Amino acid sequence: MQANSFESAYAGTPPWDIGRPQPAIIRLAETNQITGWVLDVGCGTGENLLYLAERGFVAMGIDGAPTAIKKARAKAKRRGLNAQFEVGDALNLSVPERPFDTVIDSGLFHVFSDEDRPRFTESLGRVVRLGGTYFLMCFSDQQPGDWGPRRVTQAEIRWTFSDGWRVDDIQPSAFETNLGPAHAWLASISRS
């Protein structure tokens, strides 16, 4: 899916835009795995980030689709939450004043082509502190059928993050979508 197809998807409610945080992200927060200054990369309309903001995290979200960012900002305002949302390209992230401690990714990595993947890891590597953690949640190859994004294998995750990163853990997880649940991998990857 190209960046402009995401933008047009946000004219309506796309299947991934469930209007609440993903349970897997809630579990990460509840088990204190999310710490410090947080980036939500490919944040969409912001439910995961707004959930974290509500719990007191200082967090920023970026997404390539201006309509998603507009919707996210409107929700933050309506809910009285302090969260920063910016239009940006995950393949070319601007270097922040200080690097992020934690990055969450709910459904971004699996949109990238093989060629995009090394561009993404390089871009991400510039904005996460050494020892910081990137939580990658993507559609897994255990998901049958062919609706939705491309399926990702554990080996692909390990291969993509083999240089400058350490893959600490990959667990089976699940996405909630407006079309039902889908098998996911949840990987915990640290910048080394």
Could you say whether residue 107 binds ligand SAH (CB under 6 A)? yes
With respect to ligand SAH, which residue has the nearer C-beta, 4 or 192?
4
Contacts of 180 (CB under 8 A, 6+ apart): none
Minimum gap (Å) between residue 69 Cβ and ligand SAH = 9
CA distance 107 to 130: 24
With respect to ligand SAH, which residue has the nearer C-beta, 37 or 109?
109
Could you say whether residue 63 binds ligand SAH (CB under 6 A)? yes
For ligand SAH, which residue of 24, 34, 38, 42 counts as binding (CB under 6 A)?
Answer: 42
Q: Which residue is nearest to ligand SAH (CB)?
A: 44
With respect to ligand SAH, which residue has the nearer C-beta, 178 or 192?
178
Minimum gap (Å) between residue 104 Cβ and ligand SAH = 8
Could you say whether residue 177 binds ligand SAH (CB under 6 A)? no
Could you say whether residue 91 binds ligand SAH (CB under 6 A)? yes
Instruction: Give the CA angle between residues 64, 69, 75 to the nearest 5°.
Output: 155
Q: What is the DSSP letter of 126?
A: T
Question: What's the Cα-to-Cα distance from 175 to each of 56, 57, 97, 112, rounded to whole Å?
Answer: 24, 22, 32, 18
CA distance 34 to 134: 10
Could you say whether residue 17 binds ligand SAH (CB under 6 A)? yes
> Strands 58-63 and 100-106: what pairing?
unpaired
Question: What's the Cα-to-Cα distance from 185 to each of 46, 53, 154, 175, 182, rounded to whole Å?
Answer: 21, 24, 8, 9, 10
Could you say whether residue 111 binds ligand SAH (CB under 6 A)? yes
With respect to ligand SAH, which residue has the nearer C-beta, 62 or 166?
62
120-139: which residues touch ligand SAH (CB under 6 A)? none
Contacts of 32 (CB under 8 A, 6+ apart): none
Q: Footprint of ligand SAH on this chain (CB under 6 A)?
A: 3, 6, 16-17, 42-44, 48, 63-65, 68, 89-91, 106-108, 111
